[in-house]
Structure 1
Amino acid sequence: MAETTLRDKVAVIGGGEKNLGGLLSRDFADAGAKVVVHYHTGENEAEQTVKAIRDAGGQAVSVHGDLTKVADVRRLFDTAVDTYGGADIAVNTTGMVLRKPILETSEEEYDRMFGINAKAAFFFIQEAGRRLNDHGKIISLGTSLLAAFTDGYSTYAGGKAPLEHFTRAAAKEFADRHISVNTVAPGPMDTPFFYPQETPERVEFHKSQAMGHQLTQIEDIAPLIRFLATEGWWFTGQTMFPNGGYTTR
């Protein structure tokens, strides 16, 4: 049965302090959800997001943690249970991007990229599967580079690639509790996360590959995630590519 409202639901948002995660935290709270806002380095942004939610009459709490550490992932969900009595929705927007040729990539860079993009994603899904109430929703943030044929992003796209397999397996394994599991893989998003890796010329190239000659806007992605968290209960085990036709094939 479809859930069409977020009222009285509890949402755990990985990277929920800023960019797409911050927008989702505020949108979910506006729709009636109680929000657990995870952050790693953005303490000020987390405080501002929580304050904005509370000032608008909503409920939110922030939690610091490094999601590459399983103990911190568990503590994040512990907070949801201890503060609000449970959790219904888990959205992981965290990630790290690196654009670097394979021949120049160090072991440290490889480990760091796969730590946040693959390991953290896996254990976030694992803990959500353990802790969410029945009929819960798990949503991970991937990248449209999963469907691209391009250079430079081997460790970023490679680190995100396991999400498709984690998602399909979890969708099957959690199905008996009616927990849906999906990945949303946008095109390059117009956030501070994107620009440090690109030259102005490549930014223009990325824009040229999508409809309307623009980068993906977080405001265009948030409604899809909101849909998956409510009416989209029948979607599970899927990787969706909302990218305005973006392609680097």
Structure 2
Amino acid sequence: MSTVDRVAIVTGGSGGIGGAAARRLAAAGTAVVVHYSGSAARAEQVVAEITAAGGQAVAAGGDVADPAAMAALFEVAEREFGGVDVVVNTAGIMLLAPLAEMDLDDFDRTLRVNVRGTFVVSQLAARRVRSGGALINFSTSVTRLQQPTYAAYAASKGAVEAMTLILARELRGRDVTVNAVAPGPTATPLFLEGKSAEVIDRIAAAAPLGRLGTPEDIAETVAFLAGPGGRWTNGQVLYANGGIA
């Protein structure tokens, strides 16, 4: 076991935003457990990038909606690095369709991963994150944009926001902050998939800053909440979206 001052778990760490958050936290001296669900190779790549830069990281898999699998994930952090201080819960799926046409199985999958998964990980974080720690869940700016085809996704993230804000109050006296980050359109493979250049340009132009966000933009918000500068920010939803909403 390597005991370090600060240890983070990043669920969905094999993804665009999760990987950027893991790398950013590692650059600040935090040891990171990079979680994945179906992308072990991408998670190992993130680990390799962190260790090549002089940081500490390991990869670990599991279904975020499975309490036993997530308990095992926390145990990896405790076994490898001595505990858990920061949990960044980026894992999620985005299945889009008009509400009237959406397959109910897709709706159920969305709720299972995004709502139940966030609940399971948040519950473990509430029980196991050390004093001075932080839980950072992920919502979306779509909750305020009311975009067609996003009903299921936005509904799931609305639930995430509600859980996050309530848990912040329930952890009174623990010195653990609980916040949510709500990105706007961000240039990740998940976002860019299936969109034409014209559509991407139109979405980018909607932001006052005239561009899409990058995973690194979102990672900076995560680093703020996870670090000493974010200790007085608690029970909030931070819209990291370049002013698009």
TM-score normalized by structure 1?
Answer: 0.92
Structure 2 counterpart of 1:91: 88
What amino acid sits opposite 1:236 in the alignment?
Answer: N
Residue 133 (structure 1) shift:
0.4
Query: What secondary structure is seen at the aligned counterpart in 2 of 1:183?
Result: strand
Separation (CA, whole Å) in 2 of partners of 1:157 and 1:200: 24
Structure 1 residue 144, shift from structure 2 partner: 0.2
CA separation in 2, counterparts of 1:159 and 1:226? 24
Q: In structure 1, what is the Cα distance between the partners aligned to 2:179 and 2:194? A: 27
Q: Which residue of 2 aligns with 1:244?
A: 242
CA distance in 1, matches of 2:194, 2:41: 24
Change (3 A) 1:99 1:23: same
Q: CA deviation at 1:202?
A: 3.5
Do the aligned residues in 1 keep the contact of 2:115 with 2:160 (CA within 8 Å)? Answer: yes
The amino acid of 2:75's aligned partner reads: D
2:199 matched residue in structure 1? 202
Query: SS where residue 160 of structure 1 aligns?
Result: helix
Q: Which residue in the other structure is 1:104 paired with?
A: 101
- Secondary structure of the residue aligned to 2:8 is strand
- For 1:220 and 1:52, the matched residues in 2 are separated by 18
Alignment of 1:82-231 (within 5 A): 82-196=79-193, 198-230=195-227, 231=229
SS in 1 for 2:241: coil
Instruction: After superposition, give the CA deviation of every residue in 1:162-208 in whole Å (9 maximum; x if it has no partner).
Output: 11111111101112111100000010111111123545443333222
Q: In the alignment, residue 54 of structure 2 is paired with which amino acid?
A: G
**Structure 1 CA distance, aligned partners of 2:73 and 2:183?**
25
1:3 alignment counterpart: none
Q: Figure out how many residues of one structure are paired with residues of the other and give that number.
A: 241
User: What RMSD, in angstroms, separates the aligned Cα atoms of the two structures?
Assistant: 1.5
The match for 1:4 is none
**Does structure 1 residue 58 correspond to structure 2 residue 16?**
no
TM-score (norm 2): 0.93
Instruction: Classify 1:117/1:197 alpha carbon distance in 2 versus 1 (closer, same or farther; 3 Å).
Output: farther
Unpaired runs of 5+ residues, structure 2, are none
User: Aligned AA for 2:234?
Assistant: T
| Alpha carbons 1:98, 1:197 under 8 Å: kept | no
Give the whole-Å Cα distance in 2 for the aligned partners of 1:57 and 1:213: 35
